[in-house]
Structure 1
Amino acid sequence: MTQMIEMPRVQSCTVSACSYNHNGCTAYAITIGSSTSAECDTFYDSLEKGGQGKALAQVGACKRADCVHNTDLECHAPAIVVGESGDKADCLTYDKK
């Protein structure tokens, strides 16, 4: 039997240019990280609006193995905060080991 883990929720996202941000992140789940940063890979700058309509997003995967909250490429923080960093959306909860 496969054990389900609780995914951390996106506590807040202040990136207003993202198509999934409607007073909070409305994507079902987001992916964090690239090989060089803790950016939100789900960020999408478009006039088209996406998401579930409610700010209930969770972290589905995190590619930043060097984060203190990351085990086996899964985030184990209680919740994360996403915010603007230049022209990108970054996980502000990221904390390098």
Structure 2
Amino acid sequence: MATVNLDLTPIHQCSAEGCTFNASTSCHAPAITVGDHGANHCATFLGIPTKHSPTRDGHVGACQLADCSHNSDLTCTAASVEVGASASGGTECLTYSAA
């Protein structure tokens, strides 16, 4: 079984409805990627109907948002993050803060 580096930033809450990894606002993906081609969104969002049983807490594995103040060498340095819906309806990191 794979293990997760506990030094990774935990996901405090995820309000992205319809994501396979979201169970009662708790992300249980082993590690998510934030950002895709410079856009602030959860690149790990998976919208299939089958939910996996929540067996672990989610973490930020990589951050591709070079302009975020919490990004250090593609690693999130925030104490924790919140993922949720953007005004346009996408799923993004709500903890994002422009550098």
Is the 1:22–1:55 contact (alpha carbons within 8 Å) kept by the matching residues of 2? no
Q: Counterpart of 1:58 in structure 2: which amino acid?
A: H
Give the percent of matched residue pairs that are identical in Structure 1 and Structure 2: 35
Deviations 1:40-82 (A, max 9, x none): 01001111223x6135000000000110000111110010000
- TM-score, length-scaled by structure 2: 0.85
Q: Which runs of 4 or more aligned residues in structure 1 lie more than 4 Å from their structure 2 counterparts after TM superposition?
A: none
Within the candidate set 24, 27, 44, 1:25 is matched to: 27
Extract unaligned runs of 5+ from structure 2: none
In the alignment, the residues of structure 1 paired with residue 85 and residue 55 of structure 2 have an alpha-carbon distance, to the nearest angstrom, of 21
The CA RMSD over aligned residues, in Å, is 1.7
Alpha-carbon distance between aligned partners in 1 of 2:89 and 2:43, rounded to the nearest angstrom? 13
Higher strand share: 2
The CA deviation at 1:88 is 1.9
1:39-58 matches, cutoff 5 A: 39-50=41-52, 53-54=54-55, 56-58=57-59
Paired position in structure 1 for 2:89: 87
**Contact 2:29–2:58 under 8 Å retained in 1:** yes
Q: Which runs of 5+ in 1 are unaligned?
A: none
**Which residue type is aligned with residue 7 of structure 1?**
L
Q: Whole-Å Cα distance in 1 between the matches of residues 35 and 47 of structure 2?
A: 17
Structure 2 vs 1, CA of residues 63 and 28 (structure 1 numbering), >3 Å: closer, same or farther? Answer: same
Are 1:59 and 1:75, in contact at CA under 8 Å, matched by a contact in 2?
yes
Query: Aligned with 1:56: secondary structure?
Result: coil
